[in-house]
Structure 1
Amino acid sequence: ARGVPLTEAPARVLPSPEGAAVVGVPLRASVSRVAVRPGQHVKKGHVLMEVLMPEAVQAAGRHQAATLRREAYARRREQLLALQSQGMARLTELAEAETQLAEAQAEAQAALALLAVAGLHAADAAAVARGGPVPLRSPVEGIVTEVSGVLGETREGGGAPLVRIIGEGEALLEARFARPLPAEARFELVLPGEAPLPLKEAGRAPAMDSRDGTTAAWFVPETPRALPSGLTGRVRVRADSLPGVSVIPARALLLESGQAEVLVRTAAGFRRQPVEVVATSGAEALVRGAGEGDVVAADAGALLLAEGATGGAGGAGEEGTR
């Protein structure tokens, strides 16, 4: 059965966890600088755009103000504690200072949470509070495939992405097959203009998809290799690894009452031999059940017609199984 595929199915390369990304704005923002263009290679952390976020500026200002108050209240609390140890401070004054300190800490934390939504940290607050732009950085390494924002454009938070990046990662392919796959089958990826790439199965869906009757399976190259996300090809199931499988002409099959048979040459003529059809491919069929040395009729239907007309075995053609 060498060289005869069991079946083929369209396949596509799925993005790795860090193989593709879109970058947008979580808050209302206007574009102040575009730093990349389509086709440009970027590293992880590369600045793609700079935007102005009024809500982030306000949050940064509140964080700075709350931080100053927190530091002042903390100093006041330390002073009152020192005075209390000498019996010179009242408990009400100390309680009031601690309350003010807690309120300042809470306000700073709330502002910091909004900054985190914008992808900023406490260290960025000072620059942003002065009206500075917020940089949008690439979360992955790859190629910029789309830049949709232009200078001065305003986007609402959570809207369409401003930049798309596609990268390469460890290849994982998905293919959907219309028939069950033998456990011992071998697989290869067929790409235009390239030698077949041996694959190994990474997983198989336990149930058939009720929408189209196919079963999904996932594959990775036997030798680790990076492939671009979205690349399409065909996964070919090789038959040469299946034990006991022979190639015969498709016309050599007889299908009666749901049972496949072939006519095997004997000294007295031909006998019917039940076989299991593994797959058909054009004019050939892959079957299991015929002996290695058996000679089967190349056209079983024509042979039976000839036998009926002559009362004996006809010469419709013979072919040895391979």
Structure 2
Amino acid sequence: MHRVPSLLVSIAPVIALSMLAGCREPASEPSPAPPASACAPPSSSFAWIAVRPASEASPEEYPARLLRTSASEAVVVPPLPARLVSLAVRPGDTVSQGDPIARVVMPEIDVALATLTGADSALAILRRRRTQLGLLERERLVQASEVAAVDLEIARHSADRLRASAVITGAGISRGGTIVLRSPIAGVVTEVPATLGELRRPEDGPIARVRSRVGQRIEATFPARPAEGATYSFRSAAGSAPIALVNQVPAPTGLGYLAWFEPPAGAEMPAAAEGRVLVHSPAGAGTWLVPATAVGARGPGRFVVARTRSGAGAALVPVELVRVANADAIVRAALPEGALVASDPARGEGLVDGGARP
């Protein structure tokens, strides 16, 4: 009966040691070392970016409007009140320059022609009579009042002749009767707001309106003088077409330039009153597209830090800044195709090894 407690006392230290051993955490395995690339400092604090041809640059865009000109739209209007005898066209008809539009009679032209003819005849007779009277006047065989009366008639018929000539010259018509009014341009007849038999006055508006598919001009305002060597196009909701710069002047406001464009000869423009002029930068040899941040400034000059793909060194290359296009810059520089430029020229300049060109 007394042996059990003594046995418990003897094994108690062993049980306690076992419990302590079970409570200890197992020894953890050593964690793997981080890769060397994660600990190593970056090779540079900027990027090397390949240059691209300037033709890949996004074009600049400026609001523009299509202008009607004498070559793109014309009206047929009688120069004097005219009675409409016949119409030769209807809306939608295609006409060539000089095609008949309407036939009219103009009473004022008939009167002017008759007055001109009568004045010429009367003046011929009166001048002969004046010559005869001049001979008699020297011999005192004619009264001065008779000579004065002939001079007065000559003056009156001369005035009639001048008025008739002015009407005929102003109308641009040299004969009377039925007169044919013709289309000033080639195009499509868009309106014929006239009625047969009516007396049409110039202030009543045109007998017909003709619109050409060509001959328009485009006007746009630029913030700066258009770049030399650039190409242009006009874009609207109706489509796009190439255009050429015709002329440019400083804007009347003093801000920017007004520029005018036209399509190639015979080319049709999109049927829209407004659109945008797209400026495509020069894409000749030596013109490149680089990040705008890659262009550094030193005094009045500009430069990039460049190297070739295979070269280890870098060079500082002077550039001419053509324009900035969004996040890119278009530059002229002696860079080889495939060259790389530093995105940060200030930091890249520290790698320049002697300044040689890449």
TM-score (norm 1): 0.61
Are 1:227 and 2:279 counterparts? no
Unaligned runs of 5+ in 1: 128-132, 305-312, 314-322
Are 1:68 and 2:84 counterparts? no
- In structure 2, the residue matched to 1:248 is 290
Are 1:163 and 2:200 counterparts? no
1:28 and 1:117 mapped to 2: Cα distance? 13
SS in 2 for 1:36: coil
Q: Which amino acid aligns with 2:279?
A: R
Are 1:90 and 2:142 counterparts? yes
Give identity over the alignment, percent: 28
- Return 84-93 or 109-118, whichever deviates more: 84-93
- In structure 2, the residue matched to 1:181 is 226
- In structure 2, the residue matched to 1:203 is 247
Query: Contact conserved, 2:318 with 2:333, CA < 8 A, in 1?
Result: yes
1:167 and 1:35 mapped to 2: Cα distance? 18
CA change 1:85–1:274 in 2 (3 A) is closer
1:75 and 1:149 mapped to 2: Cα distance? 45
2:196 and 2:287 mapped to 1: Cα distance? 65
2:242 and 2:127 mapped to 1: Cα distance? 70
1:146 and 1:67 mapped to 2: Cα distance? 38
2:126 and 2:332 mapped to 1: Cα distance? 89
2:140 and 2:225 mapped to 1: Cα distance? 86
2:282 and 2:131 mapped to 1: Cα distance? 84
- In structure 1, the residue matched to 2:258 is 216
CA change 1:202–1:85 in 2 (3 A) is same
- In structure 2, the residue matched to 1:117 is 170
Q: Number of paired residues? A: 287
CA change 1:174–1:226 in 2 (3 A) is farther
Q: Determine which structure has the larger strand proportion and give its number.
A: 1
1:140 Cα offset (Å): 2.9
Query: Contact conserved, 1:21 with 1:166, CA < 8 A, in 2?
Result: yes
- In structure 1, the residue matched to 2:102 is 49
2:307 and 2:116 mapped to 1: Cα distance? 95
CA change 1:108–1:253 in 2 (3 A) is same
Alpha-carbon displacement from aligned partner over 1:116-168 (angstroms, at most 9, x marks no partner): 434433x32xx3xxxxx554332333332332223355555335333222346
TM-score (norm 2): 0.56
Unaligned runs of 5+ in 2: 1-52, 352-358
- In structure 1, the residue matched to 2:161 is 108
Alpha-carbon displacement from aligned partner over 1:15-40 (angstroms, at most 9, x marks no partner): 66544322324445554432222332
Are 1:239 and 2:247 counterparts? no
SS in 1 for 2:55: coil
- In structure 2, the residue matched to 1:78 is 128
Alignment RMSD (CA, Å): 5.1
- In structure 2, the residue matched to 1:318 is none
Alpha-carbon displacement from aligned partner over 1:153-194 (angstroms, at most 9, x marks no partner): 5555335333222346677654433344333x2314367999
1:110 Cα offset (Å): 0.8
Give the 5 Å matches for 1:132-147. 134-147=179-192
1:35 and 1:89 mapped to 2: Cα distance? 65
